[in-house]
Amino acid sequence: MVETTFHGITLATEPGAVFTPRPATEQLVDAALGAIGAGPLRIADVGTGTGAIAVAIAAARPLVEVWASDRSADAVRVARLNAERNGVGARVHVVQGHLLDPLPGAFDLIVANLPYLPESVHRDEYDDEPPEAVYAPGDGLGYYRTLLGACEAGKLVIPGGKVVLQLHREVLEADCWQLKALRKKLDELRRRAA
Ligand SMILES: C[S@@+](CC[C@H](N)C(=O)[O-])C[C@H]1O[C@@H](n2cnc3c(N)ncnc32)[C@H](O)[C@@H]1O
């Protein structure tokens, strides 16, 4: 277990077992905080890893409640530890499972930094990370498409809710009525990165 700093908080991580949060993801947290007010809200962080995004948002907004999911048991364990250590364990609920499956109900805001690199590519910079935290099947966008499909179907985000995602160090934001445009933007970025 080693420690890293993210968005002004200290997080435990386990190199090789749990994805170490990157500075670029602090912009996602800033975008999420800019998208919400100070009131009570329900937020979902899909693919939480160390819990970096979930814990940083909960630490900055005392009234929000965050549900954070990850399919990795190691990530769930470390994210729970980080939530406790940062004093937000009562408001950050870390659950294990595939994407949105373990998440209860619909949310005001969905945030996600999920694997998006196709398995056919290799990036040396991620050699120390668990491959399933970095690479995704097919063209790499399948997890985000599933997530946006659920949002479009009204299963994950409430009417008036928002989505903030990270892809290739870019932060992409959309209101729930802009999700089709967000899908297009994802495809466009994928084509540019190919
Ligand atoms: C790129 S890491 C990002 C972790 C964290 N969100 C961050 O920004 O530091 C992606 C995370 O998604 C998780 N993940 C991968 N596939 C998943 C799936 N199908 N369902 C839920 N989580 C998944 C991985 O275990 C990993 O923790």
pLDDT score recorded for residue 113: 98
The pTM for the full model equals: 0.97
pLDDT score recorded for residue 190: 82
Q: Which of 72, 78, 101 to mutate to test the pocket of ligand 1 (most atoms within 8 A of CB)?
A: 72
CA of 65 to the centre of ligand 1 (A): 20
Q: Which residues contact 183 (CB under 8 A, 6 or more apart)?
A: 145, 148
Q: Distance between CA atoms of 194 and 187, rounded to whole angstroms?
A: 11
SS3 191: helix
pLDDT score recorded for residue 146: 93
Over the chain (194 residues), what is each successive 10-residue block's mean pLDDT?
A: 96 97 97 92 97 98 98 98 98 97 94 94 94 93 93 89 92 91 88 78
